[in-house]
């Protein structure tokens, strides 16, 4: 369970920190699943944000080829010809209902990451929750870039 104070960028922060845990667990062959639709009580005056389900799995049955994952084409999320070596990896960052709500403008000296909402692109996610989960997704994506 992830809890937080409601402060500026708290959802992006949870995404960033949670993805560090996600990647660490996966390195130990522990499967992870960001589970957002669940409802939990607050804890010690902190608001519930999101949860992560985990399960130990056999290494030979776990994430054999990430390149077979359903993800947007690089051209849909990456503008510019810089840092393409990382672009093809960071596009595999997980996101709520696989919405991948990010666009990157790359230049020689910087990457600018934007969150966007494409009408009708939300999978099974309730429409009123898209903005909420997409802010967590941006934190996850920033962790991948880092």
Give residue-wise pLDDT tens across range 91-141.
989 888 778 899 999 999 999 999 876 665 556 677 778 889 999 999 999
Task: Report the predicted TM-score, pTM, of the whole model to 2 decimal places.
Answer: 0.88
Whether the Cβ atoms of residue 100 and residue 92 lie closer than 8 Å to each other: no
User: Whole-angstrom Cα distance, residue 17 to residue 134?
Assistant: 15
**What crossing angle do the helices spanning 10-27 and 130-145 adopt, rounded to 10°?**
50
Q: With contact defined as beta carbons under 8 Å apart, do 139 and 15 qualify?
A: yes
Distance CA 12, CA 15 (A): 5
Question: Could you read off the pLDDT of 14-62 as tens digits, one per residue?
Answer: 999 999 999 999 889 898 988 877 777 889 999 999 999 999 988 777 6
Q: How many CB atoms lie within 10 A of CB 11?
A: 22
Compute the average pLDDT of residues 65-73: 80
DSSP secondary structure string for all residues of the chain: -EEE---TTHHHHHHHHHHHHHHHHHHTTEEEEEE-S-----BTTBEEEEEEEEEE--GGGS-S-GGGS----HHHHEESSSSHHHHHHHTT---GGG---EEEEE-SS-EEEEE---TT--TTS-GGGHHHHHHHHHHHHHHHH-
- Rounded to whole angstroms, the Cα distance separating 81 from 70 reads 23
* CA neighbor of 56 nearest in space, from 34, 26, 35, 36: 26
Instruction: Read off the pLDDT band of 79 (50, 70, 90).
Output: very high
């Amino acid at each position: 369970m992830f809890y937080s104070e409601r402060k500026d960028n708290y959802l992006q922060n949870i995404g960033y920190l949670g993805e560090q845990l996600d990647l660490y667990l996966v390195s130990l062959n522990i499967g992870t699943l960001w589970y957002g639709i669940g409802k939990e009580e607050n804890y010690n005056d902190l608001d519930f944000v999101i949860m992560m389900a985990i399960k130990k799995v056999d290494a030979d049955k776990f994430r054999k080829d990430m390149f077979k994952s359903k993800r947007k084409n690089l051209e849909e999320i990456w503008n510019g010809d810089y840092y393409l070596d990382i672009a093809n990896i960071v596009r595999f960052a997980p996101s709520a209902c696989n919405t991948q709500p990010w666009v990157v403008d790359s230049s020689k000296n910087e990457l600018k990451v934007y969150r966007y909402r494409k009408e009708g692109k939300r999978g099974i996610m309730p429409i009123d929750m898209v903005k909420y989960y997409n802010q967590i997704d941006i934190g996850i994506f920033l962790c991948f870039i880092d």
